[in-house]
Structure 1
């Protein structure tokens, strides 16, 4: 059995095999490794633009604001690219607000989500002039009203409602069921909207819903949308006017053999339902994250040792769970391919890192032809990769590279050992 070549990574056409070496656009990845070492995140600018184009093309002249869910990847170069393309942003913290403002994002296209907003974050977002606060509880609504009053401002609000719809995804990334921490139960939403209407410093602007991530089937979206429109019907009877409908994000990507729906497939059906219910005039807000960046990035890692044991074969690499947490956290599947494929006898390997945890693995039971020193590309690592990286075992975080055609740019320098202790101090003698 011999290894076959990979002309392009699964779902990642901007990462392709050329002259026996994996490339990102026009840049050979072995050259990047020689210059910058591993572990190393590499992103394709063309892939970002192509992914955003699938959303902008699907809008079809309707009033739609595409707000990138930046928790998926908050590198400034990624944010700047989406701002340049005209995206808004879905943020979940004051730090994320600082990042998007730093790249020149339009505050009027920023929605502020998250269950635990603090008063200082609300204050900062009010001063910036964000489009909407996606409020997730009555307590948050009351605090926001007080903060707005103190600032002499009115806070634009969409209530995030929980429709109790099963997104049919991993339980850790399901957000629309009653047992999830997110949102206000849809049966309680009318009462909270009436409260919002009574608060002097609150402006009701919309309804928000997000049911989960890595959705491959759009039927849960549509089930949730029907419930939202029923809610809007009731609010209308109460004299509460809604200006936009935020349908969240969550469209999946291809990690292995998935066939996720396109933004156009989703939006065409959303528009049909809105028109049929008499709400074609409503602005639609979307919050895609993974589907914009997931297949725009890879993680490069070098094989340090090969360990052949009775029960398993291990390829011990220099990337670890602190660099890419998804496999340990979600048991997530990422494709793994050599940067320079070699012929030979295929063996089955677990790809594991050097961290002192049995859960430190990137891939299990993969057929590969490997030698010590080979560089591997971990596929589909553009979302929830570097953004979730940490310093466990006092490991420095990787560098990040953005490829643009035949050029490459360092968009985050590799941390140094000195940076690990820069903010720490010891007790006096």
Structure 2
């Protein structure tokens, strides 16, 4: 059963999930009522409680507040004869995208373990972004450079359909040339890095100082391992990119690029449009 502990996680409002104004979970009072009537639900077994207060959380204080509330709630339930097996404390541990200074796993453990001791429950943690976020990059090719009286645009072949976080959350991703061209490595310029999709929200960086790049050069958009491919789409009729696993000097295509045919394979023409 997911509980809403009503805790401010200090993250982007779109990925806040543990405040009472969010759509997720059940408040403590309602949860207590449901658990007390569980004996009448012969086909339902409530084995544990779950919280998930948000994502990209870089400090331990919100977790301490949420787990403290949960520990108090569990102790009250036990006094009423309600026994549980699990406590899932969710995920959301933040990583470094730019200038963040997130807690380490060790620092996080030192803060929360004292709160969990004595509960005698199996503890579940969901550190997905923490594990995979900085293990993935989006590689994209510079198609051309466009200069206007106000801006300089580096237009690349990847788009918001491949990595929507900058457009959706105004998220920062570090961008690096894979191989800086000889002779201009130290030259930097302020640019917008944008994709080819037909809206102005299609960008990876705005007003960013980057090493000068040329058409045909490849860029690495860092920190794309979490919420990258999983949030990608076929918007603008764009096939999703392939995924390549790289370990030292070895690589393997673990997901091939989609084809144009696959974009329409599930579509059907209504018979009445064909005059049938």
Give yes or no for the alignment of 1:382 onto 2:225: yes
TM-score by length of 2: 0.94
| Residues 209 and 246 in structure 1, CA contact (< 8 A), matched pair in contact too | yes
Give yes or no for the alignment of 1:272 onto 2:111: no
| Residues 197 and 203 in structure 1, CA contact (< 8 A), matched pair in contact too | no
Separation in 2, partners of 1:316, 1:337: 14
Q: CA deviation at 1:267?
A: 2.1
SS of alignment partner, residue 372 of structure 1: coil
SS of alignment partner, residue 46 of structure 2: strand
Q: CA deviation at 1:397?
A: 0.7
Separation in 1, partners of 2:229, 2:113: 35
Give yes or no for the alignment of 1:336 onto 2:175: yes
Q: Which runs of 5+ in 2 are unaligned?
A: none
Separation in 2, partners of 1:195, 1:264: 40
The equivalences for 1:30-69 within 5 A come to none
Separation in 2, partners of 1:243, 1:262: 28
SS of alignment partner, residue 143 of structure 2: strand
| Residues 174 and 211 in structure 1, CA contact (< 8 A), matched pair in contact too | yes
Give yes or no for the alignment of 1:304 onto 2:143: yes
| Residues 91 and 127 in structure 2, CA contact (< 8 A), matched pair in contact too | yes
Give yes or no for the alignment of 1:317 onto 2:160: no
Q: Deviations over 1:177-233 (max 9, x none)?
A: 011111001232211211233311122221111100101010000000110011101
Q: Deviations over 1:324-373 (max 9, x none)?
A: 11111111100000001134332111010111011010111122211111
Give yes or no for the alignment of 1:245 onto 2:84: no
> What is the count of residue pairs matched by the alignment?
268
SS of alignment partner, residue 67 of structure 2: helix
The equivalences for 1:53-132 within 5 A come to none
Give the superposed CA RMSD.
1.2
Given candidates 278, 284, 303, the residue that maps to 2:123 is 284
1:419 matched residue in structure 2: 262
| Residues 251 and 288 in structure 1, CA contact (< 8 A), matched pair in contact too | yes
Given candidates 172, 178, 199, the residue that maps to 2:14 is 172
TM-score by length of 1: 0.61
Q: Which runs of 5+ in 1 are unaligned?
A: 1-158
Separation in 1, partners of 2:112, 2:40: 31
Give yes or no for the alignment of 1:361 onto 2:203: yes
| Residues 60 and 103 in structure 2, CA contact (< 8 A), matched pair in contact too | yes
Comparing both chains, which one has the higher relative contact order based on Cα–Cα distances under 8 Å and sequence gaps of 6 or more?
1
